[in-house]
Amino acid sequence: MKKAAFVWLLAVAASGLGAGQTAQAPTPAERGLASWIDAHNTEALSLLERAVNINSGTENLAGVRQVGALFRAEFDALGFRTTWVDGAAFSRAGHLVATHATGGPKILLIGHLDTVFPADSPFQKFERAGSTARGPGVIDMKGGDVVIVQALKALQAAGLLTAMNVTVVMTGDEEDTGRPLALARRALVDAARGSAAALGFEDGDGDPAHAVVARRGTTSWRLTVTGTPAHSSQIFRDDIGPGATFEAARILDAFRTELSREPHLTFNPGVFLGGTAVDFNAAESRGTAFGKTNVIAEHAIVTGDLRALTMEQFAHAKAVMQAIVGGSLPHTKAEIVFDEGYPPLAPSDGNSRLLALYDAASRSLGLGAVDAVSPDKAGAADVSFVAGVVPMIIDAVGLKGHDDHTPGETADLATLPTQTKRAAVTLARLAAGAR
């Protein structure tokens, strides 16, 4: 949708200080924050290593709870009131919520405890090599969790945390969200209410010069098609039709023709099974199909995802897809069903203002500019659930690196103190009333 692209360009144009502008010099307190973070970076690295060495694949409920206990102890030591929200109602480990409440503007910090690597994954340990470290979840997002903790410790050491109103939510199922979503994200949304700003500590595209002000939402879909079985020599006959496989192919090609040029919109058929008989295991996203070359296919199943930048774009895409599916070829039937999914974080003036504050903090510390990355390079994340609840949101301000979700997941450890300094100064300015 051209409107979505236009709104995105406006958001990018509004963010940052702009070329040639000079950031204010850091205050003595802010310089003190930066110095404390540098002096205690070894402690941050130790916490990161301990967190990474605990397997916390989403389905490893005990491991997720163990990582939660590790970070809970850190917040307890800072004087936060901590709560573990049990996840039994949505078939997950649960979430850690830590609150430090005062009368100042409320700030929400978002992390997650789980990774994509299960308990039986061969990729299990933190391995450091100079200024880099490889390990499961080192940047997605245990590194971001450490940034949160260290920034708050620096603020406490500077005497600034006492007057701050901060809530931290570290979810236990970001990588594979429990169902129903309303229950799985209730604690996060409840914590967000009344917040002036929210910062998410994902790694984003791995570039420390980038942050996220807009993320596409995502949902999955399932296309089921039936046709009339017969001998293949009779395919396309007026009373038999093209069969299920041709009808599924027609539908997919029509999706491509009608929607592939929509800015920021993507849709991907990940699994396609067709034949006389189809057996699909949705939980494992795998299946089998049986058919013969001389028999017209009776069944087809296709599953995929859909990503969009706004709820309006989602609605438009779903309507187009439903209409295409509804125009079935003769003697075939088709149905498409959409799952509940992650909402988008649409670009907004508030998000751009928060990025400008973060960018100003970075520049004032001599750490360079931070610009908005395209939403096409940002996957779905928990911050999207608080869109519409919190007026200013940015994400991807955690530890940077590359190859997350793979056995090559690697952190650039030089960005650990950098990202922590940026976060600490931004939080201090927000607490002081910066907007």
Tokens of 382: 């928990």
Element (H, E) at 44: helix 41-52
Alpha-carbon separation of residue 392 from 187, 196, 279, 347 (angstroms):
19, 7, 46, 10
DSSP, collapsed to helix, strand or coil, labels residue 299 as: strand
Predicted TM-score (pTM) of the model is 0.88
How many Cα atoms sit within 13 Å of 372 on the Cβ side?
30
- Quote the distance between the C-alpha of residue 258 and its chain's center: 27
> In this predicted structure, what is the pLDDT of residue 20?
41
Tokens of 229: 């079985």
CATH number for the region 217-338 comes to 3.30.70.360
Total Cβ atoms within 10 A of residue 343: 23
List, by residue range, all CATH 3.30.70.360 domains of the chain: 217-338
- First-to-last alpha carbon distance for the chain, in angstroms, is 31
| Average pLDDT for the chain | 94
Q: Which fold has domain 2-215+345-431?
A: Aminopeptidase (3.40.630)
> In this predicted structure, what is the pLDDT of residue 22?
58
Q: Which residues contact 155 (CB under 8 A, 6 or more apart)?
A: 33, 161, 164, 424, 427, 428
Tell me the pLDDT tens digit for each residue of 89-146: 999 999 999 999 998 899 999 999 999 999 999 999 999 999 999 999 999 999 999 9
Tell me the pLDDT tens digit for each residue of 121-131: 999 999 999 99
Q: Are 71 and 96 in contact (CB under 8 A)?
A: yes
Total Cβ atoms within 10 A of residue 241: 21
Q: Are 277 and 299 in contact (CB under 8 A)?
A: yes
Placement of tokens 């199922």 in the chain: 173
List, by residue range, all CATH 3.40.630.10 domains of the chain: 2-215+345-431
Residue 210 sits at φ, ψ, to 5 deg, of: -125, 150
Is residue 17 packed enough to be buried (19+ CB in 10 Å), middle (13-18) or exposed (0-12)?
middle
> In this predicted structure, what is the pLDDT of residue 4?
42
Tell me the pLDDT tens digit for each residue of 248-278: 999 999 999 999 999 999 999 999 999 999 9
Q: Are 260 and 372 in contact (CB under 8 A)?
A: no
Q: Which parts of the chain register pLDDT below 70?
A: 1-22
Q: Are 182 and 125 in contact (CB under 8 A)?
A: no
Tokens of 73: 């102890």
Tokens of 15: 């963010």
Residue 264, Ramachandran bin (φ over 0: left; ψ between -120 and 50: alpha; else beta)? left
Tokens of 241: 């039709």
